[in-house]
Chains A and B, each alone.
Chain A
């Protein structure tokens, strides 16, 4: 059993980290250039240069392009209006229209970000060129380059972003499942009854039962961090001790939940099902695969109850942004609160007598 407990999560970490990427490449991109100016050609060349876009073809009318999108030959259409260059120069303002095939909403969101990034980058450049035309009206220095801080930008690797999150997920699932099955298993075997006729105190029994899983959770975290750093070159900008400190409290929350599930289940199947129910909700609402900001408001509110959410947030902040304790103190204290509340309920609902 023990090798399985260690090996499988690590295999998952390796596989999922490679598979769970939001990166979209080879976007089938087309454009309608109504301006045929130097500026419009330069904008298009930006798209051509990007590794994310495959320029399918240019269309002479929007209608034609729309038709191609309907047939699925095109994912995105950029329409450059008449007088694009002129408006940019004289009014310093212009509209571009972008149509994206949104059948896959998540992909469409990512594509739209890519496109607006390129356009934004392009705008900066125009401004610097404009600078030469009209020296007085622009105070911006020539060399300003805004590097978009989006996590999906080119400089930041997806795996860097996903690996810590997936590690959180594995540590959570493993400790939740093992702890919720464990006491139920003793119920099934009858050893729990034997324990209950002894004068052992509730807290002694519970600590004895859960401590090994607490240690196991930290060991899995360690192995996972080693893989994250050695295999995926995830940076550790913050203090790694902070991650351990947080995890040691976080695991109490998960073990508390596991114990509550155990207390309310009579069979391992039952416990398994309840643990599965919670883990699916926790994972999908953790911000790991879908950004919390893009959830409806009620769902965002629900995520505040989700311990995984805080762990994902904190591990990313500490590893990728180099956050220190004061940066993570709010989620940390929320988790401390949960640890107390859940374990209190767990101990209270554990019955030596029925």
Chain B
């Protein structure tokens, strides 16, 4: 089986003053896979992700995303990716429709494309009655599904999701993961962080980050076997406990 590498990271580090937030991490992500990026709070997941999407300059190391160097070819990286931040970041004071139009416009979609996408997106998310509501007034679960869809507007090759289901109810989480699967089936690569270990089980491969370094990286099945435990939750606890 030949796997096409879409993200290749070599000794990537980020330092804030004396503090090393990301310590020389190296890994690869293959096209079309769902890659789980796990780690305790403050492990450095968000920091690593920001370097990969070109909004934070690496202190050292290399990273190729969709074939482009994140240090030198940032703008091309940005065209190839979608990003859903850990913090909800659409315009609260604009309506759903206005947000979609705005972000579609930034990615250079035409008026027609935007119109088409809006209709499709709204019917998929069953938001027909809410299109003209302010985004700020929506329940969290809806907001998250909406930002995911907006991150996919320009059909990126890779989508980075930073804790997309944080604080969301179990039913919505399930729906969210159905959306993720549907997108991965289309060939989009999913790079996702989460603190829910049941979600980690859904990933093709997961890495576990501990204090800035990647301590483990494999399929959930292999990881469970390796640590001789029944669930990803136990794998995570075993690795995290080693720190103390």
Contact = CB atoms under 8 A, between A and B. Distances in A.
Interface of A: 189-191, 193-200, 352-354
B106 A189 contact: no
Contact of B90 (A191, A199, A200, A352): A191
B88 A197 contact: no
Interface in B74-93: 74-75, 78-79, 81, 83, 85, 87-92
Interface in B6-63: 53-57
**Which residue, of A198, A200, A353, has the highest number of chain B Cβ atoms within 10 A?**
A198
21 contacts: A189-B91, A190-B85, A190-B88, A191-B90, A193-B85, A193-B87, A193-B89, A196-B55, A197-B55, A197-B78, A197-B81, A198-B103, A198-B107, A199-B75, A199-B78, A199-B106, A199-B107, A200-B106, A352-B74, A353-B55, A353-B74
Contacts of A354: 55-57
**Which residue, of B85, B89, B91, has the highest number of chain A Cβ atoms within 10 A?**
B89
Interface residues of B, number: 22
B178 to A, nearest CB: 24
B106 to A, nearest CB: 5
B89 A191 contact: yes
A200 B92 CA distance: 20
Contacts of B90: 191, 194
**Which residue, of B54, B90, B106, has the highest number of chain A Cβ atoms within 10 A?**
B106
A241 B103 CA distance: 38
B138 to A, nearest CB: 15
Contacts of A352: 55, 74
A198 B106 contact: yes
A197 B87 contact: no
Q: Sort A-B residue pairs by CB-CB distance and give the 3 closest, nearest first.
A: A190-B89, A194-B89, A190-B87
A189 B78 contact: no
A218 to B, nearest CB: 24
Contacts of A197: 53-55, 78, 81, 83
B55 A193 contact: yes
A199 B57 CA distance: 16
Given A189-B89, A193-B89, A353-B56, 18 more contacts: A190-B88, A190-B89, A191-B91, A193-B87, A194-B83, A194-B85, A194-B89, A197-B55, A197-B83, A198-B103, A198-B107, A199-B75, A199-B78, A199-B106, A199-B108, A352-B55, A352-B74, A354-B55
Interface in B143-185: none
A189 B91 CA distance: 8
Contacts of B106: 195, 198-200
A98 B186 CA distance: 93
Contacts of B107: 198-199
A334 to B, nearest CB: 36
A140 to B, nearest CB: 71
A190 B83 CA distance: 12
Nearest to A198: B106
A353 B50 CA distance: 9
A352 B88 CA distance: 19
Interface in B97-111: 103, 106-108
Contacts of B55: 193, 196-197, 352-354
Contacts of A189: 89, 91-92
B85 A199 contact: no
Contacts of A198: 78, 103, 106-107
Contacts of B54: 197, 353
A354 B56 CA distance: 5
A196 B57 CA distance: 13
A303 to B, nearest CB: 39
Contacts of A194: 83, 85, 89-90, 103
A329 to B, nearest CB: 41
Given A191-B90, A194-B85, A353-B74, A199 B79 contact: yes
A353 B57 contact: yes
A193 B50 CA distance: 10
Nearest to A188: B87
**Which residue, of B55, B56, B90, has the highest number of chain A Cβ atoms within 10 A?**
B55
A197 B78 CA distance: 6
A190 B87 CA distance: 7
A198 B87 CA distance: 17
Nearest to A192: B89
Contacts of A190: 85, 87-89
Contacts of A195: 106
A191 B106 CA distance: 13
